Each structure stands twice: as C-alpha cells, then as structure tokens.
Structure 1
C-alpha cells in the first residue's frame, strides 16, 4: 500500500517557528517531524510514500532525499499553486491504482494501520477516516456516525451551537482510487470541506475508525509543538530519542560536554556537540538541540531549545518557551513563560522578555531591552521608547494602533500619578491619514487613564505648544509624519511650559509602558473628548497685538511662501494675508496623501522657491518645515540666508528692542553670531544641542531670544517654543521698519566659513574614542559641554556623538572654507585611526 503525505501548507499557526522553515521539517526531539511520520509508516509496512509539497518544498526534498536512508522510497509532487488538501490527487491518479493512505504531515500518532485497513476492507468503504475525540471540538472538523461507524454527517470547524459530536477528523484516511473521480481537475479542493461531504451526498459508503484509545496530537500551535516533545520524553507515545540514554531519563548526544557542577533533572534530551557549562540547571521536560552552548548558571525550565543556540551566563529561560535555531541570548537575560524566539534573533544582555511574547526571525534586541509586545517587523528594536526626536517608528508596523494606545495609556498614567487634580492634555497632528489613525488610538489610551483630552485636529507644532499654554494644559502631544520619511510616524510630548519633556520624565513613561502598569480608571471617571476650534484665531489675535499691523498694510510686501505641504499650510498664508502681505503660496496642500517635501538649506530642496522669488520679484521667500516649527529664508536676490546669519540678525534687533539681554545659542553655532551679540551689548549663553536644552536655558536665564542654526527661533515673550510662522512675521516687520531688503540688513556681517562631516563609530567604542580625543585635546583650549569643542588660533572643531547610536558629528569653523573642510577631514581621520587601534590593538 502506498501513502500520500500532505505537506503543502505554510504552517501559519506555528509562526514564527515556521517563518524560515517548512512545518514538516520542524524538529521534534531533534529530528524533523516528517522523519518521525515516515518511520511510523515504515513500522506499519508502508515503504512507498508520495509527499505533496508547496511552501518551501525544495527544502523538504533536499532534506529527505529519495528516502533510502529511511529504507523507504520517496517521491515528491510540487504544487505550483494552492490545490487544497485533495487537489493534488488528480495529478497522482496513475500512481494510486489501489487502496492508499492519506496522512497529514502535522500530526504525531501511535496507531496500528493494519487494523484500520482490515476495518476498511470489511466495511467495503470508499473512504475510511480515523476519528478521535476532543474536549474542544470547535477547532476541528467533527463527524457523526451511526452505531456501525457509518458516517452520516460532517461539520468543518463548527461553532459551539453546531457541535453535535465530540468525534473529530484525525487527518488519516484510507481511500479507494475511485474517489479521485469526484475531485475536479486543477482546482482547489479539500478533503474535509469538499470531497467527503460530496461523497456522502452521492450516497457513497464512508466509515469512521475510532483511534481515541491511541495517542494522537495535531501539532498546530507552538503549545502543541512543545507538548509533542514533552509527550515523547514522558513516553506517552512510542517514539524514542536517537541518542544514548543516561541515568534518570536523561538522553545526551555524542560529543556533548556537561560540567560536573551542572544539574540535569530528567526527563531531558540534550543533542550532539553541546556544552553545558558550570552551574547550569536543565529542568525536567527540556529538549536541547545539537551544537548548543549553555553558559554558566543558566536555568532552563520545561522549554525547547533548537539547534545552534547560544545562551550566555546567568540567563533564565522559564517554562514552555521555544528558542529557535541560531538564536544568541546575552548574559543576565530573562525570558518568561511561553515565549517563542524566532530563528537567527540576537538578544542583548540584561534584557527581559515578557511572558507569551513572540519575536520573529532575525531581530536584533538591544542590551537592556524590556520587550512586552510581539516583535514582528523591522530588524531592530531599541530598549527605549523615546529617541532623540521623541517617539519615532515605522507607521503601522513598529507603531501600530495597539502600540499607540499603550503609549497614550503610559503617558496618561505618568501624569495622573504626578497630578492628583483633573489632568488636561492638548493633542494635535499633521494632515496625514496615518497620523489621524494613530492619534485616535493614542487619545483612547489617554482617556482610559482619566485624562481630559483637548483635540486640536490638524495643527502646526507652534500652535500645539501655544495651545498647551493658553488652555492651561498639563502637557501636549504632537503626532506627525517626519519630513522625507513618509513611512514613519513621530510623537512628541511637551510639558506645561511648552518644552519637550525631560529625560527623567521619559524614563518614567518608558518604565510604565514596558511594565504595562497602566492606571485604568472606572468608566464613570472617563472624560469626554473636547474639540477645540478657535486656536488659530487666538494665535492670530495675539500676533496682531505684538506686531505693527499698520506697518504691514502700508508696506504690502510680496512674499513667496513654501509650506512644504505641512501642517502650517492653512494658518501661515492666511495670517500673512490678513496682516497685509501679498502672498504667493506654493506647496500648501493639506491632502492626506500629499508627498512629503524635504526641508534643508540646500539648493536642491529650495530651488522652486528660489526661482519663484526671482521670477516674481518678491521681497522675501519663506520655507517652513513640515510642522512649521523651523524656517529658512530666501532674500530678494534668491539667495539662501544661512541659519547662523538669521540667528545673528534676530539677536541684534532683539537687543535693540531691549537695550541689552541674554541670547541662547547652541555650542555648534558660528562665532560670528557670538561676536555680533557681544558687539550689540548682549550676553551669550552657549547650550547643548537639542530643543529642550535651548528652551531650558532661555527660561533659566530669562533670555530675550534663542536660536538654532537649523532654523529654529524662539521669542519667549510670545511663547516658549520654536515657531517658524512667528519668526517669519517678525522678519517681515524688521524689513518694513528698516525699509531695507534682507540682503541689505546683513550686508555688513563678516563672512564666516563652516564645515560639517559625519563618521561612523561602533556604539561600544564611542566612550573610548571620546577619551582618546580628550587626551589629544590637552594641548589646546577645549570644553566638554556637548561633546568635545577644541579651539585653535584659526578656528574650532566640535566632535559630538550623533543622535544616532553609531555616528559622530564633526563641526568646524575657520578663516576660509578650505581650512574648515581641512579641519573636519583631519579629525575624521583621527577618529578612524583611534577606532582601528581599538579594534586591532595596534
């Protein structure tokens, strides 16, 4: 008798175990599942086997060969398209000329098939189905039989209301060749759903053969897969591990070294060529594959470790976890109950994987990570929720609606624990549909913790922070798609002072998020969502109170405004028009699918704006970034005004207004800005790079102005936030007051020459590189406010770790552009030499 093994499925229910390997090749006690099935068939006298394959079928054929090593003959049928469980039989008609066996590849059983064949012949059955019983039959196809075991009814995966039998289809069939005539050619056709009901309808004799007294297991889930291994160890099924058995039901493969101080409590199976190091504890019902390294004091409990796995010292693997092949787990890591770690994943030391987490193959988990959500997409997961620019991730993949809700709940929990009063939050977004989707999810999380949410809908960043101030909110949140990153989403959180929340506050929110210690409130304590409609109007009115509106109406400046299709596309042109400007808007769409424009002070990014200024003979060109928080200006000659020049210009006129005052600028700003501030009776406060350090120093020093060369300008007497829209209004007013073009206003500024370069550096070597650079800087004047800034007679260089983990940013300023470039190149080469010495020891 021939057997046909159905092995064409994708093993979806077993993922991530089967993401890179076909389900029939998944190891059970260190042998592929399909090998066990072949050996069961061989014991029952079946030596000619056809295997139908689809998903990763070539792997199956290459692994099993022609079957000679199992003393059987194997033939393969490759499905070039899904044919269902029965569809392939039409192509095998010539090989199946007598009674044949059909068997599913994802079951383990203990059955004498000869008795089933005898029953089949005695009943003159066209199809005999092996039947077993299940406590929860709704996951299977159920079958009703008469007293003589003749089948009278089928139901494929019924609801509980449709359960009329506890007998289920076990996936083992004896069939006569005649049944193939009922299978339509080249179409998808299943045994349970299609063929058997059709045969029954046509009056054919179908019988059920009870195997309820025999062992049978459908390996459809990770839990059942684990159970199959453990049932073999406890001898519930007659399958024996193919390695030498030691005392106390412990099987240990050839070439494996077990430390004398290790403890192994059987039943346990350890494969070939493994190392079990000092103090390791391997608890009952654990299976370890071949070529595995188990480090010192590692504890593994009732889990399955597949081939080529390394588990470093002091790591705990809790009950019923599955560690797939080629996984590397760092020291002092905890993997809790029921986890599945996909093939090729690397988990950094001191990580914590919460119970029942699934991590898909080839992921890289940073040291110290706390994982409480499944990790499916991407190749990298940080241990931090917040990055240098807020919370950023791939939209609807790394940051899904589910994750956004948890983020909202974590933020809400932090603030409700801090303030005992009713907590108010401002939430705004850009015009992208993904931002709206994730904002709604995040708001749900906030509201679940009792937060009163004020919904601003589409709103530029300066107005979100402005609304936080005018509505006396405890915090605000901005959600946007970052420029030039159409697949990402960015979430920023601001405190009641309009500043990015502090690192300490971020850490507390991260702790709540990763530990899922959310403060859910009673339904009666959930507040209604408040839609805010007058923020634009209030902002405009306050701007009008600060500036000279009559000056605008008299001057009627011509402005070309590029909004970058960002969230300032509605407010900015309307405000300038209302003030009296003649506004020509470009890239001012608020469409949800409008492509993101790149924002940078470069010719290729601003070429359309520059051409428009020149062609229209405009007085000024303005380019806002996607959230209108930053701005670049183009003069009437269509030349880009560098951010340092704009910062110096604003600082000079703020000092003229106040008579004197403090100006805050980052450490990498040109010395030109500092010289002009000092010349105009101002005091310079240098600060670290970043939005919060800038705003903190403005507030701490009661400064009258702050700026970053990237186009972020802060006028604290209006509000404490970078604001590209107000900055534009202020510059236009300066031009009108002075009755000068912007090029004339900066014509007397000294020339300055700067250069910048980025160089890669492995994260683990950054600290040593910094120490080496400090040693080299001892012969010069230097400071370490933000990285290392070294001063020379002819200029300076700043070397600081980038916001990215594996880079240094190098800035320089000198007497000529050539010298500035030489400086950054020299120090980039120095860093390369230091890295080489650290890597080679030379």
Structure 2
C-alpha cells in the first residue's frame, strides 16, 4: 500500500515486469502472468518477443498460461514491441510482449498490451497482479482450452502501415545507416526506409540474443561503429534502436551523437508546424520541447514519467475534443498520434528521414536551429525515497514545486526533478538550464542535500 492506503504495483514497474533470468524472472512466473492475463481477457491474445536467448522459453510459458485459461493464442514471433501493439489494435483482444527493452542480455520481462494497442494502465495492472498473487484464475476444462495460431506473417502490415504515412520515394537516394542492435528492428526499420526510397546500410542486423555488437541500450559509447559507418558511407544520418525497438536515437552525418531531447524537439517542431495541437511529454523532458512547441503556437502538457502516461493522456485529450500534435519522452521514444499511441522506433526513424529529405538540409543544420539546453543527470542508491524527497521539499521552500512525479523544482533560470526510479532502488536527479554551469550547480546542490 502507498502512504495514502491506495494499492500500487508490486511486480510491474514503469514499463512492464523485468528481472534477471534464473533469479527473479523465470517461466513459472510468466506462466502465472499468462493465466491471470487470460482470465482477465478471455479472448484472442497475441504473443511476441524480442531476440533475447531466454525469449522462447518465456514466450512458451506465456502461451501455455493463456491457452490454459481458455484464450486463443496468436504467435507473432520475433518483432518490435510497437509492431505487436499495432497488430493487437488491428486484430486482437490483447497482447503480451516478452522483452526487457534496453536492459542487458541477462534480463527479460513482460509488457502487457490492451486491445487498443496501449500498455495496460496502473489500475488494470494492479488487478492483474491480484490474480497472480491470489491464484484465483480460470483453468479451462479439456473442451475449452485455447487454440494456438501462428500469424507471424502479419509483420508486413506494420511495415506497410508506417510506409503508408509518407509519399513513395520521398527519400529517394538518401543514404541511411541502421543499427538494430541485433534486435527485432532488423526485420522492420531497414525495409521501412527502403520503401521510402532510402539506400540502407545495416550493422548489427542479425537476430542475436547475446548482443555481440553492442548492448541493447543505444548509448553514445556503444554507437562508435554506427558513427564510423555513417562517415564511411557518406550517409545523411544513422539510427539505432533499443532491444525492443520502441525507441530510436540518431547520429548526424559527421557521426556525432544527437541527444534524445534534441531529436525529440526536431520531430516535435515538424509535427507542430504541420498539424498544430498539444504536445504531451513527461515532467523529466527538456524545456526545449516546450519552447519549440510554443514557437509553433502549440501548448505543452506534462505527465508522470512513462510512455503509458503520455499515450493515455494523448487519448484523453483527443477524447475531449482537443487537437494533439505529438507526444514522447526525452529518451528516443516518440508517439505519433496519426499512427498509433505508443513509442515507435520504426516510425521515428521514418519521420526523421522525411524531415531531412523535405528540408533539403543536413541533419546537423536542422539541429542547429533548435535552442540549446544543458541537462545533467545523476542517480543515488536509496531504500528510503520518501525521506529524501522530503529533504528536497524543505530545502526548496519558496520555489515553484510540482509533484506530478517525484519533486519537480523550478527556479527562474533552471529546473530539477528528483524522483524514485520505477525499476531500481535509486533516486534519479535531473537538472537543466540554458547555462551549463548553472545546470551543474543545481545538480551538485541537490546531491549535497540528499
């Protein structure tokens, strides 16, 4: 229970449940999740996975639990998380993705998808956990056990669905380097870009759950080969995906890493210029998003950290009759409302290619048009987040404080966010200012308090 006696998630974090295989993640747990999920849905449920070595064992456990609960199970095989979400929205009553996203190879996990293609919200997840813990699940009799079907061919619908948003050959002759990181985007992003007319070079393009080329997290340190390949081939840019391809990060034509908040701002500006409306993003996102949106006459609204909160806020606003232009997080996860309401790395790569092609400029020149901000981050281990957050509140009395997620403090020339991690026993600290020295000072000041 939380301090106000409201229930909270136990197994599931910000984006699903994850753990190290053989320790806190195993087929038995996944089968229980499958039984509970099947009990809630009682329909046709799609199952997909990324390329991790443990994927098939966990996917088999998920399918077993769902079938035993009486659900028909559709096996979509290896595919990006947003591809599964797209196909669930079009065809099925729910979905389960076996993935640990950007975590190292020894991890795996489960993301649960609702029939509208979004991740399961907190209240429904708490109800799912209740079934897991109580064991009060539906076990079908022999006449009502679900039926399995393989529909892995449907990946083509996702590829063509993204390509259909752009004019054919809009990027004709543009050279792009794609680094799927040995993950499921190897099957999708290169083909999407080719259909737009790009000449595509691929590295780390074979499915391999040991991730021999780099780790699933596309960090600046791990993208040296991408940078080298971009400069060697004369590419317009390079794009890299995380382990389940719901995010995309970029290097420019010189091979230089582009911060995720910068590329978010570039794409948000393009979206707002084309279809003005609200921009939705978490409280951890750079102020550059608010500035570029405002310059296009678009307001910004903030959510807790997590793509599910962004997606559901976008849907809520649209349901209320408001125009929504764009959404996303400052980690390479962008949401295109005309496509679907989840982070989609393939769509992000395609949108960036079109932006560069239409502008007629180098991607670095487009980046230079975006206002410059400096964000610094830190994390500290803590088993008592509430006490540390109280210290911050007391030290920052008199400043503007927002508690949408953690404690967000704003000064006239800087802001900071202090929040507990959704997946680890850490307190995360973000500090940002247009002045790099001021950002560093705010971070150090908060560290001294904590």
Q: Same fold (TM over 0.5)?
A: yes
Mark the CA change 1:805 to 1:435 in structure 2 (over 3 Å): closer, same or farther: closer
Take 2:282 and 2:179, find their aligned partners in 1: how far apart are those partners?
Answer: 27
Q: Deviation string for 1:643-700 (max 9, x for gaps)?
A: 1111111111111211x20111111211122111001111111111112111111111
Pick closer, same or farther for the CA change 1:536–1:762 going to 2, 3 Å: closer
* 8 Å Cα contact 1:666-1:687 kept in structure 2: yes
Distance of 1:497 and 1:688 partners within structure 2: 21
1:664 aligns with 2:285: no
Richer in strand (by share): 1
Partner of residue 452, structure 1: 72
Counterparts of 1:188-227 in structure 2 under 5 Å? Answer: none
Paired position in structure 2 for 1:752: 373
Alpha-carbon offset, residue 805 of structure 1: 5.5
More relative contact order in 1 or in 2 (CA 8 Å, sep 6+)?
2
How far apart are 1:712 and its partner, in Å? 0.1
Q: TM-score by structure 2 length?
A: 0.93
Equivalent residue, structure 2, for 1:98? none
The question of whether the paired residues in 1 share the 8 Å contact of 2:283 and 2:302 is answered with: yes
Contact 1:395 1:488 (C-alpha < 8 Å) held by counterparts: yes
Counting only pairs closer than 5 Å after superposition, residues 183-332 of structure 1 correspond to structure 2 as: none
Instruction: Find the structure with the greater CA-based Rg.
Output: 1
> 1:501 is paired with a residue of what secondary structure?
coil
Q: Report deviation, 1:447.
A: 0.7
- Please give the alpha-carbon distance, in whole angstroms, between the structure 2 residues aligned to 1:413 and 1:539: 28
Q: Which residue among 516, 529, 532 is the counterpart of 2:148?
A: 529
8 Å Cα contact 1:601-1:640 kept in structure 2: no
- Identify which of 390, 398, 403 aligns with 1:771: 390
Deviation sequence 1:676-729 (CA, Å, 0-9, x none): 100111111111111211111111122221011100001011111111111111
Cα distance in 1 for residues equivalent to 2:283 and 2:13: 21
1:435-462 deviations in whole A, cap 9, x for unaligned? 1111111111101111111110111111
Indicate the residue corresponding to 1:162 in structure 2: none
Q: What do residues 286-318 of structure 1 show as CA deviations (whole Å, max 9, x unaligned)?
A: xxxxxxxxxxxxxxxxxxxxxxxxxxxxxxxxx
CA distance in 1, matches of 2:138, 2:219: 47
Unaligned runs of 5+ in 1: 1-349, 351-381, 417-422, 832-842
Q: 1:430 aligns with which of 50, 61, 69?
A: 50
Is 1:488 equivalent to 2:114 in the alignment? no
Per the TM alignment, residue 774 of structure 1 is displaced from its structure 2 partner at its CA by: 1.9
Corresponding residue of 1:684: 300
Please tell me whether residue 785 in structure 1 is matched to residue 404 in structure 2. yes
**1:681 and 1:727, CA in 2 relative to 1: closer, same or farther beyond 3 A?**
same
Question: Cα offset for 1:427?
Answer: 0.7
Bigger Cα displacement from structure 2, 752-761 vs 581-590: 752-761
Cα deviation code 1:458-506 (max 9, x no counterpart): 11111010011110x2211110254452222111101112222122212
- 2:83 is matched with 463
Which residue pairs with 1:412 in the alignment?
38
Q: Find the counterpart in structure 1 of residue 309 from structure 2.
A: 693
Cα distance in 2, alignment partners of residues 483 and 663 from structure 1: 25
Supply the distance in 2 between the matched residues of 1:624 and 1:383 (Cα, whole angstroms).
28
Residue 104 of structure 2 contacts residue 216 of structure 2 at CA under 8 Å; is this kept in 1? Answer: no
Instruction: Report the counterpart of residue 652 of structure 1 in structure 2.
Output: 269
Q: How many angstroms apart in 2 are the aligned matches of 1:671 and 1:388? A: 22
| Residue in 2 that maps onto 1:400 | 26
Call closer, same or farther: CA 1:398–1:761 in 2, change over 3 Å: closer
Compared CA separation, residues 445 and 603, structure 1 to 2 (3 A):
closer
The Cα shift of 1:618 comes to 0.9
SS in 2 for 1:746: helix
1:829 matched residue in structure 2: 448
- 1:113-192 to structure 2, matched below 5 A, reads none
Shift of 1:388: 3.1
CA contact (8 A) 1:463 1:535 kept: no
Contact 1:798–1:810 (Cα < 8 Å) also in 2: yes
In the TM superposition, residue 600 of structure 1 has moved relative to its aligned partner by 4.8
Quote how far apart the aligned CAs of 1:601 are.
6.0
Work out whether 1:442 is the aligned partner of 2:62.
yes
User: What secondary structure, in the 3-state scheme, does the structure 2 residue paired with 1:465 have?
Assistant: helix
TM-score, reference length from structure 1: 0.50
Partner of 1:295: none
1:624 paired residue number = 241
SS across alignment from 1:682? coil
Residues 698, 795 of structure 1: alpha-carbon distance in 2 compared, 3 angstrom cutoff: same
Question: Quick check: 1:674 aligned with 2:294?
Answer: no
Alignment root-mean-square deviation, CA:
2.1
Q: What is aligned with 2:321?
A: none
Higher share in helix: 2
Q: Residue 517 in 1 paired to residue 136 in 2?
A: yes
Ranges in structure 2 where 5+ consecutive residues have no aligned partner: 2-7, 319-323
Q: Which residue of 2 aligns with 1:540?
A: 159
Q: In 2, distance between residues paired with 1:604 and 1:592?
A: 20
SS of the equivalent of 1:606 reads helix
SS at match of 2:88: helix
1:729 corresponds to 2:350: yes
Q: SS at the partner of 2:54?
A: helix
Tell me, in whole angstroms, the C-alpha distance in 2 between the residues paired with 1:779 and 1:469. Answer: 46
> Would the alpha carbon gap of residues 567 and 390 (structure 1) be closer, same or farther in structure 2, given more than 3 Å must change?
same
Supply the distance in 1 between the matched residues of 2:210 and 2:292 (Cα, whole angstroms): 44
Aligned positions, number: 440
Q: CA deviation at 1:415?
A: 2.3
